[in-house]
Amino acid sequence: MTSHTAVFISLSQSLRNTLKLPFCLTQQGKIISRADFFAHAFAVSQQLPTASYAINLCQNRYLFMVGFLAVLLRQQINLLPHNLTQQTQAYLLETYSDSYCLTDQPFAHTARTFLLTEALFSNANRTDFPLIDIAQPAAISFTSGSTGIPKPISKTWAEFETAAQLALTALKLHNKTLTLVSTVPPQHMYGLETSLFWTLFSSLSIYSGRPFYPKDIALTLQTAGRSLLVSTPAHLKICCQTQQDWQNVERVLSSTAPLSSELATMVEQQFHAPLVELYGSTETLSFAFRRTTQQDLWQLYQGIKLTEQAGQFWVSDGHLPYPVSLDDSFKLYADNRFSSLGRSSDVIKIAGKRASLAELNYQLNQIPAVEDGVFFKTHTERLAALVVGNVTKTDIITALKTAVDAVFLPRAIYHVPKLPRNAIGKLGKAELELLIRDLTDE
């Protein structure tokens, strides 16, 4: 592990005014307080195996958070995989040899597994105040692989806590007594910071499940009381295409990809609540927000700086211990606002003209009959597209001609049952390239 000067704090003592507040609403309707959460995590920490790393695979959100904190109390580091496949687990076990899998789902993939169940809470003592080293790496997350091989990103407790405080202040959520209902995996950075750290440092509570289908989400919202729904553009689009009775939503939160103004308007109309987007990444955590139906520009959290140096953009200060370079390009405005121009690597040139793949994908997915779609460059340097939906090539080309220069129209369109998106709706580069290769080799 990385050596550093330890800075230990007692979570229970530092949050003593909130110990009696609800922390989690379980799928069985039970309310768990913050004091109980600390006690459960401390009890589990005493039973974990000796190791340096724990691959946190827990699906139940509460058990994930108990495991996350227990790992830190044992002075270990959480490894948060970008997906839960056996291949990824095997890769992490090999790369981080002094590790084990922490899971709430029994499986036989490896002998290096610790099963986390509620039975481990039996010896929990609410008088145990856990100590945690806020300078120790709390988690190593992995980028989605949408631009290549997933890379590890290390974050400390201090970074998570400060980032949470900035976000809660910006969104005026500190004193909101809402239940946070999330469709985002807790292993994802967006899911982690909203589920655990936003909840811990505010009056919010968290729902322990992860409802996936629109009907399940609607039923959860009906029983969870006034809620903050945390989701993604892909998930919200599906929800808006179904006929559900959306109740008890005070606010909708979205991240992982920009929303179109049309979808944002649809979400607000159907959920009868304002929608706020977060801007961030695995490398940075969230650092800006916007109310998409009312403004195009993003607003930085207080204390965050976004600067340009020789065409490269950097985000710094706030919760970040050092400046982080960004793959995206931006246009900067006064009052700490900005607009996103997309990834620098997304810009393509054909016949002397330029276009953004992100913009082309946006136009493709605006076609009503297209359920999902993506452009890609072929070996001839011209563009092709993968499309999900009952729509002909002629109709796609006709619709695109109104918004896209002719040189960027897809020369070939391949209809596929679905695109290889992960749990938060992103396309992994390796999986997408494999699908394209299989189709174009036919």
The residues with which 131 forms a beta bridge, in sequence order, are 10
Residue 27's Cβ-side half-sphere holds a number of Cα atoms within 13 Å equal to: 12
CA atoms of 383 and 76, how far apart (whole Å): 47
Give the whole-angstrom CA distance, residue 327 versus residue 310. 14
Q: What is the pLDDT of residue 4?
A: 45
Q: What is the pLDDT of residue 378?
A: 81
What pLDDT does 2 receive? Answer: 39
Task: Give CB contacts under 8 A, 24+ apart, made by 359-365.
Answer: 360/404, 360/408, 362/260, 363/400, 363/403, 363/404, 364/396, 364/400
Domain layout of the chain by residue ranges:
8-341, 351-440
Res 250: pLDDT: 97
Position with higher pLDDT, 425 vs 397: 397
Predicted local distance difference test score (pLDDT) of residue 82: 82
Q: What is the pLDDT of residue 129?
A: 66
> Would the CA dihedral through 145, 148, 149, 155 be positive or negative?
negative
In this prediction, residue 377 carries a pLDDT of 84
From CA 236, how far away is CA 254, in angstroms rounded?
A: 8
Q: What is the mean pLDDT of residues 300-308?
A: 96
- What pLDDT does residue 142 have? 86
Q: In 171-242, which residue ranges form alpha helices assigned H by DSSP?
A: 189-192, 199-200, 214-224, 233-240
Residue 148: predicted pLDDT: 54
Three-class SS state of 152? strand
**Is the torsion defined by CA of 411, 395, 259, 225 positive or negative?**
negative
pLDDT digits (tens, 9 = 90+) for 237-291: 889 988 899 999 999 999 988 888 889 999 999 999 999 999 999 999 999 999 9
The CA-to-CA distance between both ends of the chain, in Å, stands at 48
Q: Which of 16-25, 91-100, 355-364 has the highest mean pLDDT?
A: 91-100
pLDDT band at 1 (very low <50, low <70, confident <90, very high): very low
pLDDT tens-digit readout, 46-87: 999 999 999 999 999 999 999 999 999 999 999 998 887 788
Average pLDDT over residues 384-402: 91
Backbone angles phi, psi at 207, to 5 degrees: -85, 135
Tell me the average pLDDT across 114-143. Answer: 84
Q: pLDDT tens for residues 370-390?
A: 988 999 888 777 899 999 999
Contact 207, 224 (CB under 8 A): yes
Lowest mean pLDDT among 34-43, 173-182, 271-280: 34-43
Which has more pLDDT, 426 or 38? 38
CB under 8 Å, gap of 24 or more: what pairs does 234-241 form? 234/421, 234/424, 234/425, 235/183, 235/425, 236/263, 236/267, 237/263, 238/214, 239/214, 239/267, 239/270, 240/266, 240/267, 240/270
pLDDT at residue 7 in the model: 59
125 pLDDT band (50/70/90 cuts)? confident
Q: Hey, do 8-341 and 351-440 end up sharing a CATH topology, with the first three levels equal?
A: no
d(CA 362, CA 139): 33
DSSP 272: T
CATH 3.40.50.720 fits 8-341, yes or no: no
Please report, as a single letter, which amino acid is at residue 398: T
Look-up of token digits 């689009």: 237
Q: Which of 104, 368, 64, 94 is nearest to 237 (CA)?
A: 368
For the segment(s) 351-440, the CATH number from 3.20.20.70, 3.40.50.1820, 3.30.300.30, 3.40.50.970 is: 3.30.300.30
Residue 204 structure tokens? 């919010």
Q: Is the whole-model pTM more than 0.85?
A: no
**Measured between alpha carbons, how far is 21 from 32 in angstroms, rounded to an integer?**
9
Does residue 401 surpass a pLDDT of 60?
Answer: yes
Is-contact 228 202, C-beta < 8 A?
no
The two tokens of residue 365 are 């997915």
Top-confidence residue, 189 or 427: 189
Distance separating alpha carbons of residues 397 and 402, to the nearest angstrom: 9
pLDDT value, residue 201:
92
Cite the beta strand spans of 235-327 per DSSP E. Answer: 249-254, 275-281, 285-290, 298-300, 304-309, 312-317, 324-326
For residues 401 and 99, give the distance between their C-alpha atoms in angstroms, rounded to a whole number: 53
CA atoms within 13 A on the CB side of 172: 3
pLDDT tens digits, residue range 195-217?
A: 999 999 999 999 999 999 999 99
What is the spatial distance between Cα 371 and Cα 263, in angstroms, rounded to a whole number?
13
